Amino acid sequence: MAGYGRERQLENTINAAQKHGWVLSDKTFEDLGVSGWKGQNVSEGAFSEFLSLVDSGSIQTPCVLICENPDRISRQGVNKSVEIMLTLLRKGVQVYTVSDDRLYSGDSEYALFDLMTWGISAQRGAEESEIKSQRIKDARKRKQLAARSKGVKVTSQCPVWLEYDKASDQFTVNEDKAAVVRQIFTLYSQGYGSIQITRKLLESKATVLGRSAKWTPQKVNYLLRQQSVIGLFQPTRKSGTKYLPEGEPIPSYYPAIIDAKTWEKVEIIKAGSGVPRGRKAINHRNIFKSLLRCYCGRAYTLKGNSEDSIRCASLNTTCKEPTWVYSKLENNLLVVLNDLDWVSLTGTGSQSEKLKELRHDIAVKELSLAKAERGVVNLAETIKEMGLDDMLRDSLNDARSQRESLQHELKALRNKETLLTAEVSSQGNWKRLSQVKTLLDTEEGRHKVNSYLRSLIGTITLRTGDTPWVTTPDTALPLRDHDKRAKGSMFIKLKSGIEIEAQVSKDQTVVYWNGGESRSIHVSS
């Protein structure tokens, strides 16, 4: 505020009051940094508070409002500024402008001249604001262009794991802090949720990043969202009180501390089933975390850290579905899911590695397609609101072409996956399933299995009681529609599009399902 500082304005206000014999109120209103050009001061600033106090009678009228010039009240142009001035006069508030030593009052004999003078000043202020705004926009665009083409830094501000060197105009990595960020991404990619990661950070007394005094799940989730870990910088522009993205992110702006594969894997996990929320078992007992759903639509959760039961989150409120014995349910589901590609989890052959890479590529392509779909929808909504012009038409056509191209690429990748899965699975999943069960003996192994299941399964819906089949099973199945011997049904939707339906005996020791053929398997308790 050089030249227009608070001290100078306050001094001018005191001098004006002394000159005209006015007594200054103890209450002073300051709109520091609040825009009068967009009308922000009228809706939320100190000027808005002043108007409210006048309306409520807390400020008695007649009174005088002292300001430097008319554009301090509004820079929204002649009509809006004059409207505000007349509103003030009707409320019994006279306006004194220091710059021209003029008092605007409702009973002035020079009312017409005052109105013209105010209007001219308001128009000049609006034009100056428009010019200043355009200059700022142009300067910002030049900076962004220099950042994209020459690597020039737009600002010295940077993520907490970096430091800015003014002499070289470059960012350097603080390795101690970067190591903590890498640990967070590694743990999340292995299936740990934000609460579990927070617990590990607290136990290891890891360096706390940012302003807060300790690690929290919110801070962990915030770091997992930052594109700057892979070197991207997203320019923004202010719209009201929000900052919106401006243009595409600038690559290689920051030093990358996370490799692209790890970033993609984390994004895939977040897009597939979301960041796990709520209470989590310390030893990660539930390998189907984020997958189990009740028939009512709510998630199934473990009842406690020590109890072996799993229940609907709405039990005893809006849902009456009984609980399941978790240890038995785990066995039930693993038996039904024996045809999953467990080789990709436990195998180490070249074909198995190829399949892992292929599924990673498919997940990345799905993320890109989802982003393209949102782009088409957003453009369509913009056209609906603003009308169609050449620029929007071209943007919409480009977005549709990109979406169609991604759809073809994704279809080709899925065809490759089908062929490669058949080849890899020929090694025998039943043998591999026994290897999977050995992973469940350790916390790290259970995390690994959960992460893998979430990559292949959409949802697992449980329904208890004498539940009917959604499709007609083989007549050889002993549990029929509304069979009282059934504990309930499990409906499994794989991300490949395959759906599996199964019924479980009341004691959860026998499972029957229809997955192309009818089988019954005894599950040990």
Q: What angle do CA 408, 409, 414 make, to 5 degrees?
A: 100
Residue 90 lies in a domain: yes
pLDDT digits (tens, 9 = 90+) for 10-33: 888 888 888 888 988 877 776 554
Q: Is the pLDDT of residue 174 over 90?
A: yes
Residue 201: strand, helix, or coil: helix
Residue 281 lies in a domain: no
pTM above 0.85, yes or no: no
Query: Are the C-beta atoms of residues 23 and 17 closer than 8 Å to each other?
Result: yes
Residue 45 lies in a domain: yes
Count of domains forming the chain? 4
Query: Are the C-beta atoms of residues 487 and 506 closer than 8 Å to each other?
Result: yes
Task: Examine the domain organization and report whether 365 and 334 are in the same domain.
Answer: no
Residue 358 lies in a domain: yes
Residue 304 lies in a domain: yes
CATH code of the domain containing 250: 3.90.1750.20
Q: Is the pLDDT of residue 189 over 80?
A: yes
Task: Examine the domain organization and report whether 300 and 228 are in the same domain.
Answer: no
CA distance 119 to 127: 12
Query: Which residue is listed with tokens 């960012």?
Result: 171
Query: Are the C-beta atoms of residues 338 and 521 closer than 8 Å to each other?
Result: no
What integer is the mean pLDDT of 204-228? Answer: 90
SS3 string, 24-44, reads CCCCCCCCCCCCCCCCHHHHH
pLDDT value at residue 434: 62
Burial 342-373 (b: 16+ CB within 10 A, else e): bbbbbbeeebbeebbebbebbbbbbbbbeebe
Task: Examine the domain organization and report whether 331 and 364 are in the same domain.
Answer: no
Q: When comparing pLDDT for 292 and 9, which is higher?
A: 292
* Among 109, 130, 151, residue at a domain's last position: 130
pLDDT, averaged across the chain: 76
- DSSP assignment of 432-491 equals HHHHHHHHTTSHHHHHHHHHHHHHHEEEEEEEESSPPPSS---TT-S--TT-TTEEEEEE
pLDDT value at residue 62: 87
pLDDT value at residue 346: 53
Residue 375 lies in a domain: yes
What integer is the mean pLDDT of 124-153? Answer: 73
* Among 130, 150, 182, residue at a domain's last position: 130
Task: Examine the domain organization and report whether 362 and 449 are in the same domain.
Answer: no
Q: How confident is the model at residue 166 (pLDDT cuts 50, 70, 90)?
A: confident
CA distance 469 to 477: 11
CATH code of the domain containing 354: 1.20.58.90
Asked whether the bond before 62 is cis by omega within 30 degrees of 0, the reply is yes
Task: Examine the domain organization and report whether 243 and 167 are in the same domain.
Answer: yes
Task: Examine the domain organization and report whether 58 and 87 are in the same domain.
Answer: yes
Task: Examine the domain organization and report whether 333 and 459 are in the same domain.
Answer: yes
Which residues, in sequence order, are CB contacts of 330 under 8 Å at separation 6+?
287, 288
Residue 509: strand, helix, or coil: coil
CA distance 180 to 511: 45
pLDDT digits (tens, 9 = 90+) for 351-408: 667 777 787 788 888 888 888 888 788 777 777 766 776 767 777 888 888 888 888 8
Task: Examine the domain organization and report whether 359 and 228 are in the same domain.
Answer: no
Residue 432 lies in a domain: no
- Structure tokens that stand for 357 in this block: 């890479």
CA distance 205 to 194: 16
Residue 286 lies in a domain: no
Task: Examine the domain organization and report whether 312 and 458 are in the same domain.
Answer: yes
295-301 CB contacts, 8 Å cutoff, 24+ apart? 295/321, 295/461, 295/462, 295/463, 296/321, 300/324, 300/462
Q: Domain range spanning residue 511?
A: 292-339+440-522
Task: Examine the domain organization and report whether 88 and 206 are in the same domain.
Answer: no
Q: DSSP letter at 524?
A: -
Which residues, in sequence order, are CB contacts of 462 under 8 Å at separation 6+?
292, 293, 294, 295, 300, 321, 324, 329, 488, 489, 490
Task: Examine the domain organization and report whether 456 and 314 are in the same domain.
Answer: yes
Task: Examine the domain organization and report whether 70 and 19 are in the same domain.
Answer: yes
CA distance 427 to 359: 19
* Among 426, 450, 469, residue at a domain's last position: 426
